[in-house]
Chains A and B, each alone.
Chain A
Amino acid sequence: MNKSEYLNKLTNELGHMPYGDVKDIIQSMEEHFDEGVSEGRSEEEIAASLGDPAELAQEFKDGAKFKQVIKKRKMTDNFKGPDGRGRLFVIIFNVFVGIECWLLLLAAIIAAFCFLAGDCAIAGLIIAGLIMGKLTEFLVPFIFLVLTLVCVAIFLVVLLILGIKYYAKGLKSYIRWNKNIWNYGLGED
């Protein structure tokens, strides 16, 4: 196996690693080959002494996995009591932005509820009027109006179900995000 064959095989075996990492690794190995060649060794000889590219790629990948674990552990290890900056950020962010946003969304949901209730009430009244035969004069327009109101009601119900679902989901992850910063700081280190 010569240099380019070895490097190609290694690149293929590295597979899903981020492009920057692969480039860095290949660069290091290229340097290794160049150094060896300048010492008078053949590319085949160097490739053989480097070991199986598949095994080497696996070692690089294991190292990358380790890197992620280290990062996570650092986050918890470096934690020496509450981080004042993180907590201050959580408080200020919530007071000036966070809580307002969530209240605004909640208000929108409540408003939609009120709108739905009004819509249903009007539709109900018209239907009652139609049944009791008191609205005989504008029968066709009223029927159209009822149909429109029913459509609006269905649309609102769907919107509310989705809205409440995502509101709950969003609030949950928002609280988790806050907790993280509260406990471990802003995570810049």
Chain B
Amino acid sequence: MCVLALLEKGDSYGYDLAGSLARKVEVADGTVYPILRKLASEGVVSTYLQESQNGPPRKYYHLTDAGRNKLNSERDEWIKFCGEVNGILERETGGKADEQE
């Protein structure tokens, strides 16, 4: 889901994605590649080659419409889930605050 969200901002290539993901979440740089392969086989991302200014062509990843749908529904689910968990946590701290009063 995080990889899909990164691709939502625009097409990108493996090295760049690996860097962005590893900077935000504590994972090895390599982790992104199996995920990208899996996403490509699911059809939620597509790939294409594009020349880079220096060096060999880069393999770019593009979020497909199916991927956008998947991302949106997963994001909604995740936000809902976090909201529920937060609700529970807040009530508990609220309860403690009541007890203290």
Instruction: Identify the A interface with B (CB < 8 A).
Output: 24-25, 27-29, 31-32, 34-36, 38, 46, 49-52, 55-56, 59-60, 62-64, 66-67, 70
* Minimal beta-carbon separation of B49 from chain A (angstroms): 10
Measured between beta carbons, the chain B residues less than 8 angstroms from A64 are 37
Q: In this assembly, does B56 line the interface, its C-beta being within 8 Å of a C-beta of chain A?
A: yes
Instruction: Verify A51–B37 contact, CB threshold 8 A.
Output: no
Measured between beta carbons, the chain A residues less than 8 angstroms from B35 are 63
* Minimal beta-carbon separation of A20 from chain B (angstroms): 12
Instruction: Identify the B interface with A (CB < 8 A).
Output: 13-16, 18, 22, 28-31, 33-38, 41-42, 54-56, 58-59
* Minimal beta-carbon separation of A57 from chain B (angstroms): 9
Measured between beta carbons, the chain A residues less than 8 angstroms from B59 are 27-28, 31
* Minimal beta-carbon separation of A49 from chain B (angstroms): 5
- Closest Cβ neighbor of B32 among chain A residues: A32
A28 and B22 contact, Cβ closer than 8 Å, known pairs A50-B30, A51-B29, A60-B33: no
Instruction: Verify B34–A62 contact, CB threshold 8 A.
Output: yes
Taken together as a complex, chains A and B put the C-alpha atoms of A64 and B13 apart, in Å, by: 21
Measured between beta carbons, the chain B residues less than 8 angstroms from A59 are 30-31, 34
9 tightest A-B CB contacts, nearest first: A51-B28, A35-B15, A50-B30, A59-B34, A63-B38, A56-B30, A67-B41, A51-B30, A49-B29
Taken together as a complex, chains A and B put the C-alpha atoms of A66 and B40 apart, in Å, by: 12
Taken together as a complex, chains A and B put the C-alpha atoms of A60 and B35 apart, in Å, by: 8
Instruction: Verify B33–A29 contact, CB threshold 8 A.
Output: yes
Instruction: Verify B29–A50 contact, CB threshold 8 A.
Output: yes
Measured between beta carbons, the chain A residues less than 8 angstroms from B30 are 29, 50-51, 55-56, 59
Taken together as a complex, chains A and B put the C-alpha atoms of A51 and B35 apart, in Å, by: 15
Taken together as a complex, chains A and B put the C-alpha atoms of A31 and B18 apart, in Å, by: 12
Taken together as a complex, chains A and B put the C-alpha atoms of A35 and B59 apart, in Å, by: 11
Taken together as a complex, chains A and B put the C-alpha atoms of A180 and B96 apart, in Å, by: 60
Measured between beta carbons, the chain B residues less than 8 angstroms from A62 are 34
Instruction: Verify B37–A63 contact, CB threshold 8 A.
Output: yes
Instruction: Verify B14–A28 contact, CB threshold 8 A.
Output: yes
* Minimal beta-carbon separation of A127 from chain B (angstroms): 70
